[in-house]
Amino acid sequence: MVGVEPLTFRRPGGDPLAIHLRSEEITMKLTFLGSNSENGQSPTFYATDRGTYVVQGWKITDADALAQMDIPDHETAVEIPAELLRHAPRPTA
């Protein structure tokens, strides 16, 4: 998703934080699911309107860790605390 950039940030009347991202190819709406920080910064967990999730975390810069992953140029890896996953929806049977 090259060229994705944030456009708006809003929290209307206590509703979940809605973040709209736009690129030449897609428009994605993110809904805030939760965060482990007190000031709304990283790490944060979002649901998309496409049935996927977005995770904001700490950029991995450890060369040894990165060497253990096969990350294509159009992808990246971030680190998150395990506790952040408590915000993930539970699968329904």
pLDDT of res. 72: 92
pLDDT digits (tens, 9 = 90+) for 23-82: 455 688 999 999 987 766 679 999 999 999 999 999 999 999 999 999 999 999 999 999
Q: What is the residue extent of each domain of the chain?
A: 5-87
3-state helix, strand, coil in the chain (%, to 5): 15, 35, 50
Question: At 4, is the pLDDT very low, low, confident or very high (cuts 50, 70, 90)?
Answer: very low
d(CA 18, CA 52): 15
pTM exceeds 0.85, yes or no = no
pLDDT greater than 60 at residue 9: no
